[in-house]
Chain A
Amino acid sequence: DSGVTQTPKHLITATGQRVTLRCSPRSGDLSVYWYQQSLDQGLQFLIHYYNGEERAKGNILERFSAQQFPDLHSELNLSSLELGDSALYFCASSIEGHITDTQYFGPGTRLTVL
């Protein structure tokens, strides 16, 4: 158990819908990262938050947004869902957010868009 929690574990929804994925980092960690794992793109970085502020963006679609709250939990919002958004979404956390930090991954949320 990495100490990073994600809810829900599974999510099944229809095209055009909006969903919210939630992540709680390890106790004491200030940084949260979101990654997407799909069959065709592999594991890709989406976005990084440090202590409530956005630090870096990767290949995140405009239909996707994220935020980190004062209690340090983070939410990833996915809207106008398409079939291709079906993937495993991981949250990771680290102490500070330096690239030299170890990132610990949560169990993931498996999203299926029908």
Chain B
Amino acid sequence: GIQVEQSPPDLILQEGANSTLRCNFSDSVNNLQWFHQNPWGQLINLFYIPSGTKQNGRLSATTVATERYSLLYISSSQTTDSGVYFCAVGEAAGNKLTFGGGTRVLVKP
């Protein structure tokens, strides 16, 4: 099956800093989603982005499907951005999302 790797595994930021999270995948995909898992465990949809660039407030994402990677940008980070960020991809064959291992982000005040 498809392999999904996220980096870095952990990130500590000072409030107000910018950061970039990376997701590499091993095969072509028909679906790519970014999620934020908050400290209460809830998975919150951030972006559906199998290709191209999207922005939502302080967050933006870019997927370069031909090179098999996606980037999530967090600008002017806030303490509420803390949590785990997951990238999940859907394979051309199969009907499921395969998740990466996540990037754990801690934003310090």
Q: Is chain A's interface secondary structure helix, strand, loop, or mixed overall? A: strand
Q: Report the interface size for chain A: residues with CB under 8 A from the other chain.
A: 26
Q: Is the CB of A102 within 8 A of B45?
A: yes
Least CB separation from B42: chain A residue:
A107
Q: Is A104 an interface residue (CB 8 A)?
A: yes
Q: How many residues of B contact A (CB 8 A)?
A: 24
Which one of B18-26, B52-60, B62-70, B92-100 is at the A interface? Answer: B92-100
Q: Which residue of A lies closest to B50 (CB)?
A: A100
Q: How far is the CB of A93 from chain B (nearest CB, A)?
A: 12
Q: Which residues on A sit within 8 Å (CB–CB) of B92?
A: 99
* Distance A68 CA – B23 CA, assembled complex (angstroms): 33
Cβ of B30: which chain A residues have Cβ within 8 Å of it? 99-100
Known A99-B31, A102-B33; judge A48-B95 contact (CB<8 A): yes
Residues of B within 8 A of A48 (CB): 95-96
A99 touches B90 (CB 8 A): yes
Question: 8 closest pairs, A vs B, by CB?
Answer: A45-B96, A43-B99, A105-B43, A99-B90, A56-B95, A102-B48, A99-B30, A100-B30
